[in-house]
Amino acid sequence: MDAAKQTPFEADDDRPPNPTTGDCASPGPLVATLPPPSLSSPLEFDLSPLAAASRHGMLPLTTHSLPLWGSAAWSSWRAQLRARLRDVDSLARALGASDLLADTGAAVRRFPMAITPYYASLIRRFDESDPIFAMAVPHGGEVVDPPFLSDDPLEEEHDSPVPNLVHRYRDRALLLVTSTCAMYCRHCTRKRVAGQQESAITDAELAVAVGYLRDHPEIHDVILSGGDPLTLPTERLEQILQAVRAVETIDVIRIGSRTPVTMPMRITHRLVTMLRRYSPIWINTHFNHPVELTPESMEACGRIVDAGMPLGNQSVLLHGVNDDAQVLEKLFRGLVRNRVRPYYLFQCDLVRGVERFRTPLSKGIEIMEYLRGRVSGIAIPTFVVDAPGGGGKIPLLPNYIVSMSPTHTVLRNFEGRMVSYPEPMERHDSTPAAAPHAGVATVFELCRGTATTLGPDDHGGCTAHGG
Ligand code: SF4
C-alpha cells in the first residue's frame, strides 16, 4: 500500500526506550498518563491586562463532556487526532457552553476547524477574550477580505520548483509533507493549505522532491513542514527522514510542529527515539501564550530536548491574544525555564482570513523595547516580518543608534542612557581632535567623543532653551 494512503491514526508504540540500548523495548508510562489539565491549574490567567478581564469573565465551563475526557484514550495521540472537534456546535456542547458566536458558519466553510480535546480543555471562556478560544475557534471576521491580504503572501507557490518543495533561500528548502494539523490555527499562514484536504506527500512526490535536493547540492538545510509533520504516523515520518538523510549534501533537518502545544501526547518515547537516529534534527514549535505552558506540553518539550534535539519556539504576534509585553515576557520566561529557546516573534502575515489578528508594526517594536534589559537575552526572540511578495524575513528592532560621526557612534541603551562608542584608531588619526568639552554634554559632544555618556536626568530638566 502506498504509504501516503495509510490512515494517520495507525497503531503507535509509546513505550519508553531501554535506558541502555535506547530501543523501545520495555513497557512504561505513557506521556498521557498525566491527568487531563485541571480547571484550578496554576496556569490559569494571572496575567495583565488580559488577567483582569479573565478574572471577572471566567465561565464555569466543564470539560466532562469533552471526547475522551476521563478515559485512558485521553493519553493516545491517535485518539486525540480522531476525536478532534470539527464544528463550533460540537465544541459548545462538549464544554457545556451556552453562548455561541453567531457567525462562524461561513468561516468554517472556508477555513476548516479542528481542535483536539486536549487543546479544547484549555478554554476557560467561550469568547474571543480567551486566547485559546481565539486561536482555535473560527470567527466571522475570517471572511473579511481587505485588498492587501492574499492566500499566499509569501509567494511560496512561486518559489516551488517541484510539488511540495519551496526553495527560496539558496542553502535551505521547505518540504511540505502533509496538510493535516492537530489543530487548525485561525492565524495560520498556510490557511490555503492546512486542513483544506487532509492528505500527505506520496511516495512519488517524495521521490521527485528528494531528486531536486540531490540536484541542488547548495541546499544544506531541509525544513519538514506542512501542515504538521508530526501528525504523520511514525513509520511514514521515518521513511521521509530516511529519504532526506540519504542526500549527502543535507546537513541539518528541521521539523516545524505545533503538536507539543496542541497534542503533546504525540511526543512519545518511540517518536523521539526514532527522530534521534536522523540527527542533527532541530525542532521548532509554536507557543503563543503562557496558558499553553501546561505540565503536558512541558513534558513533551522535555522529551525532545532530553533526546538531544535543540528546541526553538516561533510565536506569532496576535491582536487580542498576546500583543501585551507582560504576557509575552511570561511566555518567554516559561519557555526558557523549560529549555525551549524563543527564536522568532513573527509579525502576523498578510494572509487572507487573519485581519482580526494583525497588529501595527509599532506594537512589536514596543514589545521588544520592553523586553530588552528586563529579560535575559536568551529569552528574547528576534522580531521579524516575513516580507510580502517573497521578500523573506526582515528583522525589526527599536532604534538603538542615535547619531554617528567618523570617530564616534552614539548608542542608546534600554534605559535611555546614551553612550559614545569610539570607532577604530585609524579613524581618529585622520580626524582633527576636538577640544575637551566643559559643561553639560549633548549628543553633539558624544558624537565628537568629548563626552562619554549622557543620561535622561543629566540636564536636570528642560531648561536649556532658556531664552
Ligand atoms: S499547526 Fe502550523 S500549519 Fe497547522 S494550522 Fe497551526 S500554524 Fe498552520
66-93 pLDDT, tens digit each: 999 989 999 999 999 999 999 888 888 8
**Distance from Cα 18 to the centre of ligand 1, integer Å:** 33
* Residue range of the domain that includes 446: 401-454
Residue closest by Cα to atom 7 of ligand 1: 188
Active-site residue (options: 124, 130, 188, 258): 188
Q: Mark whether 386 is an active-site residue.
A: yes
Share of the chain above pLDDT 90, in %: 66
Domain end: 93, 127, 143, which one? 143
Domain end: 94, 117, 143, which one? 143
> Closest ligand 1 atom, CA of 258?
1
Whether residue 175 contacts residue 165, with contact meaning beta carbons closer than 8 Å, is answered with yes
Cell numbers that stand for 410 in this block? 552614539
190 ligand 1 Cβ < 6 A: yes
> Closest ligand 1 atom, CA of 182?
1
Name the CA radius of gyration of the chain, rounded. Answer: 25
**Distance from Cα 207 to the centre of ligand 1, integer Å:** 25
Is pLDDT at 349 greater than 80 in this prediction? yes
Q: Mark whether 412 is an active-site residue.
A: no
Residues with Cβ within 8 Å of residue 464, at least 6 apart in sequence: 440
Looking at the domain assignment, is residue 16 inside a domain?
no
228 ligand 1 Cβ < 6 A: yes
pLDDT value, residue 56: 37
Choosing from 132, 175, 228 the residue with most ligand 1 atoms within 8 A of its CB, the one to mutate for a pocket test is 228
The structure's pTM equals: 0.86
In the sheet that 453-454 helps form, which strands lie side by side, from edge to edge?
401-404, 408-412, 418-422, 453-454
Q: Mark whether 370 is an active-site residue.
A: no
Whether residue 223 contacts residue 254, with contact meaning beta carbons closer than 8 Å, is answered with yes
266 ligand 1 Cβ < 6 A: no
pLDDT value, residue 462: 44
258 ligand 1 Cβ < 6 A: yes
HSE, side-chain direction, 13 A CA sphere, residue 58 = 13
Looking at the domain assignment, is residue 19 inside a domain?
no
Looking at the domain assignment, is residue 351 inside a domain?
no
Q: What is the pLDDT of residues 116-170, one digit of tens each?
A: 999 999 998 888 899 999 999 999 889 888 888 888 888 888 889 999 999 999 9
Looking at the domain assignment, is residue 112 inside a domain?
yes
Q: For residue 95, what is the DSSP state?
A: H
Q: Mark whether 169 is an active-site residue.
A: yes
Looking at the domain assignment, is residue 148 inside a domain?
no
> Closest ligand 1 atom, CA of 181?
4
Give the count of domains, the chain: 2
Cell numbers that stand for 357 in this block? 489578528
Looking at the domain assignment, is residue 439 inside a domain?
yes
Cα–Cα distance between 13 and 439 in angstroms, integer? Answer: 75
Q: For cell 470539560, what's the residue?
A: 63
**Distance from Cα 335 to the centre of ligand 1, integer Å:** 19
Looking at the domain assignment, is residue 55 inside a domain?
yes
Q: What is the pLDDT of residues 103-118, one digit of tens each?
A: 677 888 889 999 999 9
pLDDT value, residue 427: 79
Reported as type and span, the H/E element at residue 123 is none
Looking at the domain assignment, is residue 103 inside a domain?
yes
Domain end: 79, 113, 143, which one? 143
List of E strands, 187-335? 221-225, 252-256, 281-285, 311-317
Angle at alpha carbon of residue 234, lines to 232 and 236, rounded to 5°: 65
Residue closest by Cα to atom 8 of ligand 1: 188
